Structure 1
């Protein structure tokens, strides 16, 4: 699962890489269907390599120190520590679910973005599928995304393309403008793939949970960074069916579409680690700040 060359596919055409992603889609659907029926489970973890450390601007020792802290391997009882963190995260996850928000407004120097939560949604957390995982996330109704957001963290795609300085603008749920300071061509190829121009995930990480303080050049770690401001991230592409508030195994493809769950062969996380405020707009017309500068405040 770990990279020894962070740009191994640098010379490969973005079209060819996206074709491979599309070819993998039937397997992904098979896997997700089994997971929805509780017939399959997985855990993803990464072994730190020299290439990963170099891309992050760290020594191998510094890189591994971040991994050890992130996974609580320096604790006397890491499993007990994880259980404690999960209980604390569940408090905020349950509060978000009780809110029944219609929309979330993200704003700050790097964004002015509206996310529509959608019907029959629930918030989830990592649940042990990713190690580490400190995010609380949902899969919103992609059709309601409006506004703009800029991401300060680079994105490392499955094709090992490094995309830096991403800027996205949305209208009626779709990306209408996309820019990048590095590998913009690949970004646009990804966005032009089926479902690649729609939001499949919206996630918040509280800095009190995560001990990751440095850029790690790997999505598994960067989407869980704590640091001074926690992180907000969205993913373009495939939605998570486990964010359906009900039994996903009973939902047809047509029903998923009707609910605004996005279908795509890709799922690319994009991370923002700067000061941000998130305000929930509730069904009763009230507003409530739920996240500010890296902290849940609800």
Structure 2
């Protein structure tokens, strides 16, 4: 299914554009054993680009599922401290990180939600420094995706497995622009367009956004020092990188206690190998005070109770309904792709760089600026063809941002 030339180009995108690996820099690759061919290609491309050292942090999805299902409950809090220590040390020394995902949206279907929550919480605590370095933009990181038969069957249930897998890979290639004649240059043009949009938004300094759609009526205040971002970021050394490939969004952070009203999802949320769908969240002074779901309500409640900040928003992102990824008409049931086909929010932690000088502030100072803090950062999609959004300036001027799901 994968042509060697396609994997080489994809690996080159992740190394040159994704993390923008510099000569002499180390690279960490986090991946499951399902991604072996892609991992090997990334290792090769990284060394060709001048990497000093490439470390692969392997995991096995099936082993993880078996452990969550059958291990003694008291052992679920165990974490390999040495493995975590080595990973964080490499990042603190300036290593870039590429995560290669092999999604299996129903991997943990049937596993007790409380056991999943235990493992998720303890891993979140163990990797807190990892997330601080990544979410703070201090190191370069990027995400790649390789399709799996399990994922393909869920996205294209009417096709035979081989055809479903091939169609999913073709859809991914369109989404990540791998089908373009010069994908790297195409990405550079696309990033420039996103940066023009963020400049326009930052010039207007909106005080709040107002959302209206079937099942949605929500007011979202923005911190006074907020910054819109899109496309890529600069790490602590000033090197530009693309965290997400694909990316169609421009995003910022909401004011932690400034969200009021209700919002309904427009695409399924896949979290820890389980699906949550048909859900409505009601906010009061920033916090979710009511959560209902047609599918996965117990998991949704568990997610919202993960820690004190899990029931507050950490990200607001704008994505037009008329975009290459959205126009594919494919519901990937994977956040990396579905969030880039739809306006979305994220429950949990805010990115520090979404306020001026946020990367240099302490956790307490970021909270004072209105940024949420949490062990989690979970995106959920709310964009659709009926979505209207207004931006309201500090002096009360109302400027249409979205009409009918697209930029106004």
In the superposition, the TM-score normalised over structure 2's length comes to 0.67
Secondary structure in 2 aligned to 1:181?
strand
- Corresponding position of 1:278: 389
1:141 aligns with 2:255: yes
- Farther off after superposition, 199-208 or 40-49: 199-208
The answer (yes or no) to whether the contact 2:175–2:246 under 8 Å persists in 1 is yes
Secondary structure in 1 aligned to 2:211?
strand
Q: C-alpha separation between the residues in 2 aligned to 1:244 and 1:191?
A: 24
The answer (yes or no) to whether the contact 1:24–1:265 under 8 Å persists in 2 is no
The answer (yes or no) to whether the contact 1:126–1:134 under 8 Å persists in 2 is yes
- Corresponding position of 1:118: 223
1:186 aligns with 2:285: no
Distance 1:53 1:104, change over 3 A: same
Deviations 1:142-176, CA, capped at 9 Å, x for gaps? 2010011111211100x211111111111111111
Distance 1:172 1:71, change over 3 A: same
- Corresponding position of 1:220: 336
2:189 is aligned, of 76, 84, 98, to: 84
Deviations 1:175-196, CA, capped at 9 Å, x for gaps? 1111111110010111122111
1:50 aligns with 2:160: no
Deviations 1:102-146, CA, capped at 9 Å, x for gaps? 100011223110111112110111411111111111111120100
The answer (yes or no) to whether the contact 2:315–2:347 under 8 Å persists in 1 is yes
> How far 1:8 sits from its partner (Å)?
2.2
Distance 1:287 1:181, change over 3 A: same
The answer (yes or no) to whether the contact 2:325–2:340 under 8 Å persists in 1 is no
Where does 1:96-111 land on structure 2 (aligned, <5 Å)? 96-111=201-216
Q: C-alpha separation between the residues in 1 aligned to 2:379 and 2:178?
A: 26
> How far 1:36 sits from its partner (Å)?
7.0
2:349 is aligned, of 210, 217, 238, to: 238
> How far 1:6 sits from its partner (Å)?
2.6
Deviations 1:216-262, CA, capped at 9 Å, x for gaps? 1111100011xxxxx211111111112122251x2112111112211
Secondary structure in 1 aligned to 2:189?
helix
Secondary structure in 2 aligned to 1:284?
coil
1:20 aligns with 2:20: no
Q: C-alpha separation between the residues in 2 aligned to 1:38 and 1:152?
A: 29
Secondary structure in 1 aligned to 2:303?
helix
Report which of the two structures shows the higher radius of gyration computed on alpha carbons.
2
2:268 is aligned, of 140, 144, 154, to: 154
Q: C-alpha separation between the residues in 1 aligned to 2:378 and 2:250?
A: 17
> How far 1:292 sits from its partner (Å)?
2.0
- Corresponding position of 1:268: 378
Distance 1:90 1:208, change over 3 A: farther
Question: RMSD between aligned alpha carbons?
Answer: 1.9
Normalized per residue, the structure richer in helix is 2
Distance 1:179 1:284, change over 3 A: same
